Homo-oligomer: A and B are copies of this chain.
Amino acid sequence: MARKRLVELGDLVAKEGLIAHGRGEAFDYLLGEATCPPALEAIKAAAQTIREAKAPVISVNGNVVALAAEEIADLSKMSDAKVEINLFHRTSERVSGLFEIMKGVGIEALGEEVDDTIPGLSSERAKCCSEGIGSADVVIVPLEDGDRCQALVDMGKTVITIDLNPLSRTSQTAHITIVDELTRCLPLLIDAVRGGVDVDGFNNKENLKEVLGFISDRIKN
């Protein structure tokens, strides 16, 4: 169903986004298409960080909107986080199309008008909104490219990502990486934001190692 949805949205999802989705699918097979124990820990840590944020922003691209517009809307409402459309392959047609989909689930997303830049990225990729990512303290960037993730970290943002590949540069660069499938993970994250459980010390590098151990054991057994 996810695959069909991505294909059906046509040019709103970049072709490179389809290839990236395939990489995720492969890791999800290896995870057994279930939320692994280390991901549950990362979800708790992410929820705490989101609760404590002053100006959280959810950065979404074509894949995220195609797969999880409703869940993103729910997370936005639960956490008072703004949603900003932020594209690697930015065109005004794609931004407008994604804006309309988010509008359909009750979210007035930022990103149509951009007045700020993310330092360290080239031209179109650097564009962002001053009232969104520009002034955010915490940025939630699911399915993000490694350069963008690094640039947000370099800006001093606290970066939370959701990425099925525990070895990707995004996973390795973010402060909190949830290695899980987007639509499976978001309801758990929303529950955790609502629930308010605190985490005592979260180490992203250690968590990613646990995920790799989990995958390795599954393959062996």
Interface residues of A (CB under 8 A from B): 3, 6-7, 15-16, 18-27, 29, 165, 167, 212-213, 215-217, 219-220
Q: Which residues of B contact A26 (CB under 8 A)?
A: 22-27, 165
- Secondary structure at chain A's binding surface: helix, strand, loop or mixed? helix
Which residue of chain B is the closest to A25 with respect to CB atoms? B23
In the bound assembly, the distance between CA atoms of A15 and B22 in angstroms comes to: 11
Within the complex, the shortest CB–CB distance from A22 to chain B, in Å, comes to 2
Which residue of chain B is the closest to A165 with respect to CB atoms? B26
* A6, A7, A19: most-surrounded residue (chain B CB, <10 A): A19
- Contact, CB under 8 Å: A7 / B3: no
- Contact, CB under 8 Å: B29 / A18: no
- Contact, CB under 8 Å: B7 / A15: yes
Within the complex, the shortest CB–CB distance from A204 to chain B, in Å, comes to 18
Q: Which residues of B contact A19 (CB under 8 A)?
A: 3, 6-7, 18-19, 21-22, 25
Within the complex, the shortest CB–CB distance from A111 to chain B, in Å, comes to 24
In the bound assembly, the distance between CA atoms of A7 and B17 in angstroms comes to: 11
Q: Which residues of B contact A215 (CB under 8 A)?
A: 219
Q: Which residues of B contact A27 (CB under 8 A)?
A: 26
15 pairs, A vs B, C-beta closer than 8 Å = A3-B16, A3-B19, A7-B19, A15-B18, A19-B19, A19-B22, A22-B23, A22-B25, A23-B26, A25-B26, A29-B167, A212-B219, A212-B220, A216-B219, A219-B219
Within the complex, the shortest CB–CB distance from A165 to chain B, in Å, comes to 7
Contact of A20 among B22, B212, B217 (CB under 8 A): B22
Within the complex, the shortest CB–CB distance from A203 to chain B, in Å, comes to 19
Within the complex, the shortest CB–CB distance from A164 to chain B, in Å, comes to 9
In the bound assembly, the distance between CA atoms of A15 and B27 in angstroms comes to: 19
